[in-house]
Amino acid sequence: MHISIQVCSIIIVQFLAIIFSRQKKLGTRSERIFLEILIITLISLVFDISSVAAIYYKESCPGLLVLVISKTYLISLIILAFVSRIYVLSDVNYVAVDGKKGVFIRYAIITMCVLLVSVLPIDFNINADTGAVWSSGYSVIMTYITVFVILINTIYTAFDMRTSICSARFESVLIWIGFWCIAAVIQAVMRNHILIVGFASALGVMVIYIKFENPELNIDRATGLYNQKAFLIYVNNALSSNKDISIVSASFERWYNRNVSFEYIDTAKSEIIRFLSDIDKVMVFRNYEDELIMVYKNKSDAAECGKIIDKRFKEGWGPGKNIIFHPFIVYLRNASGIKRAEDILHFIAHIKSDYMGRSDQHFISITNDIIENMYNQRNVVRQIVEAMDQDGVEVFFQPIYSVKEKRFTCAEALVRIRQRDGSLMLPGMFIETAEKSGLIIRLGLIVFEKVCQFIKDNPLEKMGMKYIEVNLSMVQCAYKKLSDDYINIMKKYNINPCNINLEITESALMEDKTNLLDNMNRLMEYGVKFSLDDFGTGHSNLNYIVDMPVNIVKFDKGMLDAYFENGRAKYVMDAAMHMIQGMNLEIVAEGIETKEHFENIAKLGINFVQGYYFSKPVTARQFLLFINENNK
């Protein structure tokens, strides 16, 4: 009778159970299920040893006792496999995953399998030469089939829901399943001379503990608080359980110190951590060095604790309570609209970047509107990335008419995103998001390359045209490598730089004047020309035209509308036109939609006109047909 491996397995699992029970835990569902796995594994190992002993001494043991012990061991393997599936899905509501009917059917099937294992025949075997003991027969086969089906279903379900479950937990369980499978194969090949399935279970449990369930992994060593990883685990568990939690983020970068040293500041921060940790109704997590996140189990607790915390902060901290902190607070009153804990951290970081530098902003509440807007932005980011990866970025062209030459001499390239359903996403729906997310750089390069490809395939001179205008955002203008990238693309397609006119806005000069002018000078040296777009909006200032080495100024539709409707605006625009024309710069009137406006613009001496009066932005194919028809 060989039970040394099983005894070693029991020691491992007992050791893990003792350590786990004594450590500080979050109290999540996954921790409770892991504890159940430890207990079931321990029980399984005990019955494994008991069955070996019962079979070995079956001649002197009651037959029913041997049968009950052996089959209880087999049933424990099925239960362990089933609980492992629940553990993998502990990040989500498995009732929602399977449906109530599905859960009932699943439990019914497991119960039926357990009953079959209980009633099917089992054989007991002893090798007289080696003393090896094992069981066989239909009951054993049914056990292995059931366990195998559960494990395969676990893997399939986990892969199907990989975006919603914890990857580290799934990886740990995969390793555990791998140990099981390898042990089962070895045991079969060795004809049960070595019984190591129980040992594989113990090793698997140890891997799960080391990789994921060790509570020490959730503790911030510097403060003793829970860390960001613990926050993600705890909140995801709460969200999947539909718990009504409230969340407060407090950043302590700002304080009123009254000439105290940084040593005292650190002492005061430690005092704050101890104070918050002693509040019963709040879980405190350290997100970053000077940011703590507090999670309340319900809104009433948040309100009650908020008053206590606010009162204490007004008293001051540190020696003599002479350090007053002014934390930047982000408050999420109700997290029911949040999909994942990771989203909360993203929202907090986004809000801090937008508001934290403002001296008048100390408290921001995340409302349902903010949540919806941020999720919409993330969806837009996903669509932008998808379009860039799958050639869904399209360039439309809007022709620009020359009053002097009485034909279309140029056009503006305008980006569109083709969505999965075939509809178009207009720039107003994604450009701002692309700028904030940093995707605008790559998106802009794709658009410029498509324009260059269009010019290469359709030489502008043959159509009676001179150049294509391409928009640059503020972020692109501040990008140091912009000029190098654009010059390389023009060289790649052998494009005459005179065929390119880049549009910039007044706000670009305010964002990063140095990089903007460096890029402009480099591109102008190469032969590219520039336009000042949307003149007459935002921070319009005639000095910008002086500062920016542009060749063309584009008047915004709003400015032109005001010219025809407002007497004062007329004088302002007349002065602007006089100065611009005095500098030998061309003017383009945008947004012209009627014949009357076109005729009035022509009388003003504005040479170029763009708008729906002639054509809306159209696809490349439609644009070619339009030019061929109208530039005869």
Average pLDDT, the chain: 85
The edge-to-edge listing of strands for the beta sheet with 363-365 is 282-288, 291-296, 246-251, 328-332, 363-365
Q: Give the residue carrying structure tokens 């052996």.
A: 70
Tens of pLDDT, residues 570-607: 777 788 888 888 888 888 999 898 898 888 888 888 88
First CA to last CA distance, the chain: 100
pLDDT tops 90 at residue 609? yes
CATH 3.30.70.270 location in the chain: 219-366
Residue 159 one-letter amino acid: F
- Given a cut of 60, whether residue 417 has pLDDT beyond it is yes
Strand locations in 166-281 (E) = 246-251, 255-256
Parallel, antiparallel, or unpaired: how do β-strands 529-535 and 552-555 relate?
parallel
The C-alpha angle 488, 491, 496, rounded to 5 degrees, equals 125
| Chain region(s) in the chain for CATH 1.20.1070 | 4-216
- Per-residue pLDDT, 501: 96
Q: What is the pLDDT of residues 465-524, one digit of tens each?
A: 999 999 998 889 889 999 999 999 999 999 999 999 999 876 665 666 788 889 999 999
Secondary element (H or E) of residue 67: helix 63-88
Please give the C-alpha separations between residue 311 and each of 35, 291, 303, 314, in angstroms, as whole numbers: 40, 20, 13, 5
In the predicted model, is pLDDT for residue 107 greater than 90?
no
CATH of 4-216, one of 1.25.40, 1.10.287, 1.20.1070, 1.10.860: 1.20.1070
Long-range contacts: 366-374, Cβ < 8 Å, 24+? 366/330, 366/331, 366/332, 366/333, 368/337, 371/337, 371/338, 371/347, 372/337, 374/343, 374/346, 374/347, 374/350
Q: What is the pLDDT of residues 216-254, one digit of tens each?
A: 889 998 888 999 999 998 998 888 888 888 999 888 765
pLDDT at site 495? 96
State yes or no: pLDDT of 97 exceeds 60. Answer: no
pLDDT at 119 > cutoff 80 = yes
CA distance 547 to 560: 23
Torsion of CA 479, 373, 376, 238, to 10 degrees: 120
Least confident residue range of 37-41, 101-105, 255-259, 508-512: 255-259
Distance separating alpha carbons of residues 318 and 265, to the nearest angstrom:
7
* Token pair of 554 as six digits: 């584009």
Instruction: Find the mean pLDDT for residues 331-349.
Output: 87
Task: Return the axis-axis angle of helices 94-119 and 138-160, rounded to nearest 10°.
Answer: 170
pTM, rounded to two decimals: 0.71
pLDDT of residue 472: 92
Residue 537 has pLDDT above 80, yes or no: no
The predicted model gives 67-74 an average pLDDT of 92
Burial of 306 from C-beta contacts in 10 A (0-12 / 13-18 / 19+): middle
Contact predicate 298/283, CB 8 Å: no
Average pLDDT (537-551) is 67
State the pLDDT confidence band at 193, using cuts at 50, 70 and 90: low
Joined together, the tokens standing for residue 232 give 């993600």
Local confidence band at 401 (pLDDT 50, 70, 90 cut-offs): very high
pLDDT at 152 over 60: yes
Residues 236, 285: Cα–Cα separation, whole Å: 14
Closest CA to 329 of 386, 254, 419: 254
pLDDT (0 to 100) of residue 356: 66
Percent of all residues in the chain with a pLDDT value above 90, rounded to a whole number: 31
pLDDT band (50, 70, 90) for residue 2: low
In terms of CATH architecture, what is 219-366?
A: 2-Layer Sandwich (3.30)
CATH topology of domain 377-630: TIM Barrel (3.20.20)
In the predicted model, what is the mean pLDDT of residues 251-277?
A: 74
- CATH 3.20.20.450 positions along the chain are 377-630
